Structure 1
Amino acid sequence: MLSMITDKPKKAGEAILVYGVEREDVRADGRYIYLTGHPKDQFYSLQEGEQFLFNPRGGKKGGQPLFGGTDGENVFLSPIYVVAFDVFLEKGEAAFYQALRPEIVREMEKHFQAEIRRQGDIFAVSLGSVTWENLNLLHALLLHHSGINDHRFVKTKEVDREPIFATRHTLTGKMTATIPVQFVYCAGPCPIVQGVLDHPNHESLVLEELHLLARSEGVIYRNNGDAD
């Protein structure tokens, strides 16, 4: 059963929560997260207090729902779509986190038991025994599965700190120069990569096998493309 916290906590993991700012000043800044202090604000604790959902003024006519707290050593605060917040209200915490996972990630977990890793809002799906040499076969199978008649071959390129999805996540290694997967399970282009994924606020992710990258769903991205 969901329980809204009326006595709002002062911390969420490593994040220090400060209440009482104007709506336009709501933000994460270093270890601090600044939130409004209206009596109708709704605060829901997640992950045993490490993270939270915050709905300014509450209700359907409230402000922008926010998802924040600590992820590893990173303090974050991200706006989320109302539909993601409604999933939490209707189905609970586990369903909310599942709703943030891209559909292609959920499908590959379900059908292929693929290993999933994450860096912030980017999910990396292991392609197992797939290599660059047989990647075109996988591409053809995925396109056939989605009903797309496309016979182009996948092209690859070597990269050095290449921005991924126009964010501060960067890849050093090898990736597809043409996007090989854009089908029913993928909300947008999903590159296939191999190498090291870096971000200033997260630990490096070493991807020894080929991995397909996809972005979190439910999060509203800022102008620079980043969610954290």
Structure 2
Amino acid sequence: AALDPHLERPLREVMWAEPGSDRAALLDRTSYTQPALFAYETALWRLLESFGPTVDTVAGHSVGEYAAALAAGLWSLPDAARLVAARGRIMDALPAGGGMVAVAATPEEIAASLTGLEDAVALAAVNGPRGVVISGEAEVCASIAALWAGRGRRTRTLTVSHAFHSPLMEPVLEEFRREAESVVLAEPTLGYERTADSSLEWTDAGYWVEQIRASVLFGPAVTRL
């Protein structure tokens, strides 16, 4: 309900659309994917709350960090919903053509493959000790993935509309900054582990701008937790 005023179609209609329909296909567009993830993860948080455990610290992966920040009291639900919808809408307006590939490799192993290609591709996420995601120009990602597949490593091309957490996100940063700076940020009431590769704190709007482009260091955050 909080997200619907910011979307062209009600989110529930898209999330529960008939498989294979045009409406269901909208879920692969980031303008709906991001709000859907936020709604789903917030629902999981409320479900966990209902069971009664006490939570000390939260963390989230990419748009999941918005749900974690809501749980921690950083922002109100209306503000979080508006910002998540804006994030998805602004990214969706970028030209298509980027790609993302999951590779069974360590960050150190993949770093050599990215040398000299920093303008085209980036380490988008570190999900575990031997699980990373690369993101950027589709052909470059595919060639790197082929290299690692040839070495016997598992690779998987992700179903995405754009290359998130890559250089291809840079054109949206200033537009999103205006959105982020319009939201009231409170001091969190729970502890939190940042997962974006940034030196800023959640309470700085600049963190949420950098988070779009920065690597998601989720695996290291889980290790710290």
TM-score, normalising length from structure 2?
0.25
**Which of 1 and 2 has greater Rg?**
1
Structure that is richer in helix per residue:
2
TM-score (normalizing by structure 1): 0.25
Higher strand proportion (structure 1 or 2): 1
